[in-house]
Structure 1
């Protein structure tokens, strides 16, 4: 990782030189801190945060520390906003709205699945600047699959171009939605709009893997009711660069800086996104 970003270097130039270094970092973090604990977690390595459905493990904490040190060194002057760091100090989240380039990190997206020995988890990294996600990395270590998106340059899975396509006519839209345990009464009411003919909603798993499924054309859309940037930043760019679209319940694109009208959707194409927005905004 020699020859880090020069003072006059743009984010695009940095990515051209160092995207492979980020790929290397995420693979090494998973190999060193996540996979050795998969299906081998001791009881003392698992804790609750806000409740029994909100878990954190030593794998989350240690992988985030590894990535924080590596990414900050790779791009001097950048800051890191990681899920576990924000849990310890919520003020860390404000860096997303700041002037410095920011790495947004979810070390284990799908911790509940990870704890239960389910392979449906991933590591998410996004690089953003001035509220715009410029690049993202989604790594599913059990599958050894790595999806990379760079704004304006497309999305790729293990080097192959991703294209989300359009839903097949005549079949119900497959939509992954927020779990009812994590929604307000108002959001539950909005999500009920998806329980209609032609739509087949189901509870989501790892948000990062659901976004990857949309980008691959395996899932038609998501409908989520929370804003945490570490869950969404990487996947939203992946969907965009694969040809998809995202919109909040007022029809505006989702902003990683917050203040979004919820729920919001990410879909395989703009027409599907518009359809879901209409369903998520039922008459009062």
Structure 2
């Protein structure tokens, strides 16, 4: 049954998952957008790491619906891992894994801004198979399936390449979330021909790269729920990703950081070189 479902997804049968993601957002996220009370917002690890009742409820909703779609699968969700870090180890198991970030861009959500999304990816043995990026306030759904391309609201998208000589627009780890060493590495992007800026929702930054409206990202953390969906989306749109060690980013962890995802391999290599201080 597991293999049949995975074959179904890889053949483009993503409608059930899209519906599950939309239902979770409609039930748990949208009704709370711009309606959060102060007691419904909690600091997890300081003032820049927030969680809301909507995050927790949406993850619970997705956990129930996604595992029902694929019996035998497990969920690695941001809030579940915060409660029990050992949950993260499921990424290395043989079971199919749903990687879930119920609200990517919680700060934007709390501020009542539209720049947030729900991220779901399906992986097995560390390999990304499919992903879903849904921006409820924008009503945009991006889907990627391994070997079958990427779509936005059903229409194929391609990342393309930056125009020759164009200034590269790069979304980087936000200063609020970076250590001093990470800041020094990211300073390599402060050079002629590159325009770095702090990122918003990582999922929406990846979507911008996949659409060809952002040239690259440069991130200094590796939590799978922030990156899995977007990395597959960028790859299936024709883009590339690499760590500073020149290796692909692995969702199971242990990556050399920072890493980049870019519209094409040449851009990824240029950003990697700058991050290495070369």
Q: Secondary structure at the match of 1:56?
A: strand
1:135 aligns with 2:130: yes
Give the corresponding residue for 1:241: 236
1:256 paired with 2:256, answer no
Match among 95, 114, 128 for residue 109 of structure 2: 114
For residues 227-250 of structure 1, give each alpha carbon's deviation from its aligned partner in whole angstroms, at most 9, with x where no partner exists: 000000000000000000000001
Q: Which residue of 2 aligns with 1:203?
A: 198
More displaced stretch, 53-62 vs 162-171: 162-171
Q: CA deviation at 1:223?
A: 0.1
| Structure 1 residues 156 and 36: alpha-carbon distance in aligned structure 2, compared to 1, 3 A threshold | same
Cα deviation for residue 9 of structure 1 reads: 2.3
1:269 corresponds, among 253, 264, 273, to 264
Pairwise CA RMSD: 1.1
Deviations 1:204-234 (CA, angstroms, capped at 9, x unpaired):
0000000000000000000000000000000
Inter-partner Cα distance in structure 2 for 1:67 and 1:181: 29
CA distance in 2, matches of 1:134, 1:80: 15
| Partners of 2:182 and 2:220 within 8 A in 1 | yes
CA change 1:195–1:8 in 2 (3 A) is closer
2:174 and 2:7 mapped to 1: Cα distance? 37
Structure 2 gap segments, 5+ residues each: none
Deviation, structure 1 residue 90: 0.5
Structure 2 equivalent of residue 3 of structure 1: none
Change in Cα spacing, 1:123 to 1:10, as seen in structure 2 (3 Å) is: closer
Aligned residues: 278
Residues in 2 aligned to 1:180 and 1:112: alpha-carbon distance in whole angstroms: 14
Query: Matched residue of 1:62: which SS?
Result: helix
Residue equivalent to 1:65 = 60
Say yes or no: does 1:26 pair with 2:21.
yes
Q: Give SS of 1:36's match.
A: helix
Match of 1:153 in 2: 148
Displacement of 1:94: 0.5
1:158-209 deviation digits (Å, cap 9, x = unpaired): 1110100001222210000001222222221111100000000000000000
Q: Tell me if the contact between 2:10 and 2:146 (Cα under 8 Å) persists in the aligned partners.
A: no
Once residues 222 and 14 of structure 1 are traced to their aligned partners in structure 2, the CA distance between those partners, rounded to angstroms, is 28
In 2, distance between residues paired with 1:26 and 1:281? 38
- C-alpha displacement at 1:13, in angstroms? 2.8
